[in-house]
Amino acid sequence: EVQLVESGGGLVHPGGSLRLSCAASGFTFSDYWMHWVRQAPGKGLVWVSRMNIDAFTTTYADSVKGRFTISRDNTKNTLYLQMDSLRAEDTAIYYCAREERDSDYFDYWGQGTLVTVSS
Amino acid sequence: SYVLTQPPSVSVAPGKTARITCGGNNIGSKSVHWYQLRPGQAPVLVVYDDRDRPSGIPERFSGSSSGNTATLTISRVEAGDEADYYCQVWDTSDHWVFGGGTKLTVL
């Protein structure tokens, strides 16, 4: 059974940093592109970042470029999101999602982890 | 950047058909995917590549896309279908784009 479990969320002050993790199981992690998607309170889903299987190629939404860094450790089956220079508008539930191979959609998602940026 | 437009809400009586639209410039030329999101739960893919259903998704869920509009159709709506629904495409800017979401209310 495919499972994605996020962790690392919490309360952080503006300008602070947080590192999210997404532990994957039930599939060959290194074979799939992985993504982070977020949902601010009362708002819709917004794509944040993507990492290819090579663990080098990345893409970011303009709103987080230069502040967030996506990475993965294929030996630990884990996806990460390092979030720096956090702002109030980064407050959201952060989901990790698996992209189906040779496609552009997300076939499995985690339950999400809540990040709150507030003073 | 590419924009997807969804109605904020759709209401339907049990047993009837709900249609949720997703508008985008020439969206018919893209592959459109749909997700169901219930509070406190992980999003669920309900339709991919315009009209295909993942295993485990009831046949009541179907999709179509043409011109500037894609549509998610839920037939014989049940109380358990009440959720937020999002359309999604991949944009040539190498970004993944979601619609604003539609809240489906079962009356």
> pLDDT tens digits for A4-42?
999 999 999 999 999 999 999 999 999 999 999 999 999
Only one residue has tokens 């259903």, namely: B53
Judge: B44–A112 Cβ closer than 8 Å, yes or no: no
Strand-pairing partners, residue A22, are A6, A79
Judge: A61–B42 Cβ closer than 8 Å, yes or no: no
Judge: B43–A100 Cβ closer than 8 Å, yes or no: no
Strand-pairing partners, residue A23, are A5, A78
Only one residue has tokens 């630990």, namely: A76
What percentage of chain B reaches a pLDDT higher than 70? 100
- Which three-class secondary structure state does DSSP give residue B28? helix
Judge: B37–A103 Cβ closer than 8 Å, yes or no: no
Interface of B with A in 63-102 (CB under 8 A): 84, 86, 88-90, 94-101
Question: Which residues on chain A place their C-beta less than 8 Å from a C-beta of chain B?
Answer: 4, 35, 37, 39, 44-47, 50, 59, 61, 95, 97, 100, 103-107, 109-112
Six token digits for residue B102: 């539609």
Residues of chain B scoring pLDDT < 50? none
- Which three-class secondary structure state does DSSP give residue B26? coil
Interface test with A, best of B96, B98, B102, B103 (most A CBs within 10 A): B96
Burial zone of A53 (CB within 10 Å; 0-12 exposed, 13-18 middle, 19+ buried): middle
pLDDT digits (tens, 9 = 90+) for A105-114: 999 999 999 9
Asked if A60 and A70 count as a contact pair (C-beta separation under 8 A), the reply is yes
Close Cβ partners of B37 (under 8 Å, ≥ 6 residues apart): A39, A45, B43, B44, B83, B84, B85, B86, B101
Which member of B54, B95, B101 has the closest CB to residue A107?
B54
Asked if B68 and B57 count as a contact pair (C-beta separation under 8 A), the reply is no
pLDDT digits (tens, 9 = 90+) for B24-40: 999 999 999 999 999 88
Bridge-based pairing state of the strands A68-73 and A92-99: unpaired
Judge: A44–B98 Cβ closer than 8 Å, yes or no: yes
Average pLDDT in chain A: 96
Which member of B31, B96, B100 has the closest CB to residue A44?
B100
Contact B7/A at CB under 8 A: no
Close Cβ partners of B84 (under 8 Å, ≥ 6 residues apart): A44, B36, B37, B38, B101, B102, B103, B104
Six token digits for residue A41: 């309170």
Q: Give residue B94's pLDDT.
A: 72
Asked if B8 and B103 count as a contact pair (C-beta separation under 8 A), the reply is yes
Q: Give residue B92's pLDDT.
A: 81
Within 10 Å of residue A30's Cβ, how many Cβ atoms? 14
Band of residue A76 on the pLDDT scale cut at 50, 70, 90:
very high
- Which three-class secondary structure state does DSSP give residue B52? strand
In angstroms, rounded to a whole number, what is the distance separating the alpha carbons of residues B94 and B88? 13
**A56: DSSP letter:** S
